[in-house]
């Protein structure tokens, strides 16, 4: 290939620009003048024009619309999945010690009493498919309500919950039954198992609550042994359980293992008349705990009526 | 509306506005539709994670092209490693065809040749050329997407045109228009 004349080499960038629609008007004029007189450059110009045309055709060639749409749908599904796995958490200092609080787009997903190892040891980081991010945004209202609750200024936590942190449908069912035990009341593992229609599953109920991912809001502290023992809470923290129950007005007695003071509580066992009793009504205080209430008001708020045999309304328990 | 819900609404609208174009970009770069699918998903998932750090005045389109270009560059790098590791595994010609046989038959000879010539360009020139000529980004945005100056983005595009011109040298010039 023979080398080009200097003038042709010099004008080449402008020539390419002009042929592909990128030249400034003065440059385009220079190119026009040059190609009018120079045959090889005219050929070059035509070739670049042809390439530009072909590129224009390529630009107009779109992949099948279905491909893009299918890709978009898959993307949207993956984004939704990603979003649903994002969990923001925050450590809230409370009178019961630091509590890690986490929420997803669905609701509060985890409350966890932090131990000596702090956040690093949190269950949050052992959960598969969770994308944990520390962020206060979206958690403040829950934090305020939690502190109000622990300070005795609030008796309900009506939060949207994300129960995907539960381990099984059975655990979710146990949690749902536990949420139904109101403030100022106490039930037992036996009572919950009976309520679920699985009276033999007492130990499974206890296990499910031992791993309760949402203590306080799913009030597993209100569930005690069938004789009233405060067994197991947040590992060895029976003192927290006692604290929460005391706050709700449920009296406890310190024996070898702390237990609730059944003699000071109103008793309820499922009955057609929905009657609640004094602990002295028959042998009710010796039977496995179904539901106990700290006050008559707590019992009657649940739609229960005084027993027509023992008349708790005439002989109220002294506080 | 919570902060997160707000972020999601805006990101949804970004997907709605830009997904088609980014997919086309990656489809032009990638050999197979399934590859473009994966790459566009990765682009937007990365964008979603980085979204919070984007300044409000940022050029979202150029930003997405930047991410898509980086995703593609990484893909090419890992493909090269993979192919080096499995030198015997070669895609068949059928797999490498951009279009189906019907489309190919319909397409002009010059278009197919140009497409083939673009595919043979060095990576940076190919990206710059594709961004400029097929997606009509300005050189400022191309420079941003390829992490170079607008001037060198321009130089890449012109080098690319020269290379395409040389590749097509042996082929007859279609008479698209008369020379002036």
Q: How large is the average pLDDT for residues B80-105?
A: 51
- Asked if A278 and A310 touch (Cβ cutoff 8 Å), the reply is yes
Contact A62 B24 (CB under 8 A): yes
Q: What is the mean pLDDT of residues A151-163?
A: 92
Do the beta carbons of residue A288 and residue A228 sit within 8 Å?
no
Q: What are the tokens at B24?
A: 């086309």
Q: What is the dihedral of CA B141, B144, B148, B153, to 10 degrees?
A: -20
A241-259 pLDDT, tens digit each: 999 999 999 999 987 778 9
* pLDDT category of residue B173 using cuts at 50, 70 and 90: low
Q: Assign B85 a pLDDT band (cuts: 50, 70, 90).
A: low
Lowest mean pLDDT among A81-95, A168-182, A266-280, B76-90: B76-90
pLDDT of A136 strictly over 80: no
pTM for the full model? Answer: 0.60
Are the C-beta atoms of B29 and B69 separated by less than 8 Å? Answer: no
Distance in angstroms (rounded) separating the CA atoms of residues A129 and B146: 33
Q: Which single residue is written with the structure tokens 């679920």? A: A196
Q: What kind and span of H or E run contains A306?
A: strand A305-306
A204's tokens? 């499974």
Q: How far is A165 from chain B (nearest CA, A)?
A: 20
The closest alpha carbon to A63, from B18, B98, B109, B94, belongs to B98
pLDDT-derived band of residue B5, with 50, 70 and 90 as boundaries?
low
Q: Which of residues 44-83 of B touch A (CB under 8 A)?
A: 44-45, 48
Residue A42 touches chain B, beta carbons under 8 Å: yes
* Mean pLDDT (chain A, rounded): 91
Overall average pLDDT of the A158-184 stretch: 92
How far, in Å, CA of A14 to CA of A39, rounded?
16
Give the tokens for residue A94.
């409370």
| Distance, CA of B80 to CA of B76 (rounded, Å) | 6
What is B90-116 written as a DSSP string? ---HHHH-SS-HHHHHHS-HHHHHHHH
Q: Measure CA A83 to chain center.
A: 12
Tell me how far apart the alpha carbons of residues B176 and B173 are, in angstroms, rounded to a whole number: 8
CB contacts, 8 Å: A32 with chain B: 180
**Closest residue to B36, CB basis, from A32, A55, A71:** A71
**For B82, phi and psi rounded to 5 degrees?**
-65, -45
pLDDT score of B89: 43
Beta bridge partners of A233: A236
Q: What is the pLDDT of residue A29?
A: 94
Percent of chain B with pLDDT over 70: 76
A35 to chain B, any CB pair closer than 8 A? The answer is yes
Q: Is the pLDDT of residue A180 over 60?
A: yes
Give chain B's mean pLDDT.
Answer: 81
pLDDT value at residue A118: 87
Q: ipTM of the predicted structure?
A: 0.78
Question: Worst-scoring range by mean pLDDT, A12-21, A152-161, A253-262?
Answer: A253-262
Residue B96 has pLDDT above 50, yes or no: no
High-pLDDT (> 90) share of chain B, %: 52
Greater confidence (A125 vs A98) lies with A98
The yes-or-no verdict on residue A77 having pLDDT over 50 is yes
The β-bridge partners of A91 are A100
Band of pLDDT at residue B4, cut at 50, 70 and 90: low
Among residues A8, A38, A41, A220, the one annotated as catalytic is: A220
Residue B95's pLDDT band, with cuts at 50, 70 and 90, is: very low
Q: Give yes or no for a contact between B123 and B76, defined as CB atoms under 8 angstroms apart.
A: yes
Instruction: Tell me if residue A220 is catalytic.
Output: yes
B87 or A131, which is more confident:
A131
CB A38 within 8 A of CB A8: yes
When CB atoms are compared, the residue of A32, A72, A137 closest to B180 is A32
Q: Does A71 sit within 8 Å of B19, measured CB to CB?
A: yes
Look at residues A168, A169, A147 and name the one whose alpha carbon lies nearest to residue A157: A147
What percentage of chain A carries pLDDT values higher than 70?
99
- Are residues B2 and A54, on separate chains, in Cβ contact within 8 Å? no
Alpha helices for chain A (secondary structure H)? 6-19, 25-37, 39-60, 65-85, 140-150, 169-179, 189-195, 202-210, 238-247, 296-301
Contact A16, B164 (CB under 8 A): no
Chain B residues in contact with A35 by the CB 8 A cut-off are 179-180
Q: How far apart are CA B63 and CA A82, in angstroms?
A: 21
- CA distances (Å), origin A141, targets A98, A268, A300, B52: 17, 35, 31, 22
Distance from CA of B176 to the nearest CA of A (A): 6
Q: What is the pLDDT of residue B39?
A: 95
A136 touches chain B (CB under 8 A): no
Across B73-81, average pLDDT: 88
**How do residues A207-217 score in pLDDT, each as one tens digit?**
999 989 999 99
Burial tier of B136 (Cβ tally within 10 Å: 0-12, 13-18, 19+): exposed
- Distance CA(A80)–CA(B115), nearest Å, equals 36
Phi/psi region, residue A57 (left: phi>0; alpha: psi -120 to 50; beta: rest), is alpha
């Amino acid at each position: 290939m023979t080398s080009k004349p200097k003038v042709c080499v010099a004008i080449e960038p402008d020539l390419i620009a002009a042929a592909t629609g990128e030249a400034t008007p003065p440059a385009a004029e220079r190119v026009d003048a040059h190609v009018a007189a120079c045959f090889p450059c005219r050929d070059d110009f035509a070739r670049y024009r042809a390439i530009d045309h072909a590129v224009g055709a390529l630009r107009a060639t779109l992949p099948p619309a279905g491909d893009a749409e299918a890709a978009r749908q898959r993307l949207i599904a993956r984004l939704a999945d990603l979003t649903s796995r994002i969990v923001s958490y925050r450590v809230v200092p409370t009178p019961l010690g630091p509590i890690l609080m986490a929420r997803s787009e669905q609701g509060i997903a985890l409350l966890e009493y932090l131990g000596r190892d702090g956040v690093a040891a949190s269950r949050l980081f052992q959960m598969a498919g969770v994308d944990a991010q520390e962020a206060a945004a979206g958690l403040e209202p829950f934090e305020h309500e939690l502190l109000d609750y622990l300070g005795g200024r609030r008796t309900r936590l009506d939060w949207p919950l994300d129960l995907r942190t539960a381990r099984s449908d059975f655990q979710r069912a146990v949690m749902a039954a536990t949420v139904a035990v109101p403030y100022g009341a106490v039930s037992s593992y036996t009572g919950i198992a009976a309520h679920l229609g699985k009276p033999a599953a007492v130990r499974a109920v206890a296990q499910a609550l031992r791993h309760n991912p949402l203590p306080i809001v799913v009030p597993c502290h209100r569930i005690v042994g069938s004789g009233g023992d405060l067994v197991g809470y947040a590992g060895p923290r029976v003192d927290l359980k006692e604290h929460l129950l005391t706050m709700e007005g449920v009296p406890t007695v310190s024996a070898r293992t702390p237990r609730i003071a059944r003699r000071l509580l109103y008793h309820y066992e499922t009955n057609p008349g929905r009657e609640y009793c004094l602990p002295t009504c028959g042998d009710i205080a010796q039977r496995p705990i179904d539901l106990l209430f700290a006050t008559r008001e707590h019992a009657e708020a649940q739609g229960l009526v005084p027993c027509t045999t023992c008349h708790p309304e005439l002989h109220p328990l002294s506080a | 509306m919570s902060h997160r819900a707000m972020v999601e609404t805006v990101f949804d609208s970004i997907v709605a506005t830009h997904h088609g174009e980014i997919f086309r970009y990656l489809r032009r770069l990638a050999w197979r539709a399934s590859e473009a699918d994966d790459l566009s998903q990765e682009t937007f998932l990365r964008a979603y994670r980085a979204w919070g750090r984007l300044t409000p005045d940022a050029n979202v389109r150029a930003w997405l092209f930047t991410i898509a270009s980086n995703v593609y560059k990484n893909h090419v790098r890992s493909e090269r490693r993979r192919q080096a590791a499995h030198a015997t595994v070669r895609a068949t010609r059928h797999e490498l065809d951009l279009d189906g046989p019907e489309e190919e038959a319909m397409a002009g000879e010059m278009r197919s040749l140009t497409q083939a010539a673009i595919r043979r360009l060095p990576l940076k020139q190919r990206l710059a050329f594709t961004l400029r000529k097929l997606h009509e980004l300005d050189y400022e945005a191309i420079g941003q997407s390829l992490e170079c100056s607008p001037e060198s983005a321009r130089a890449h595009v012109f080098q690319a045109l020269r290379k395409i011109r040389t590749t097509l040298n042996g082929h007859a010039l279609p008479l698209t228009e008369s020379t002036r």
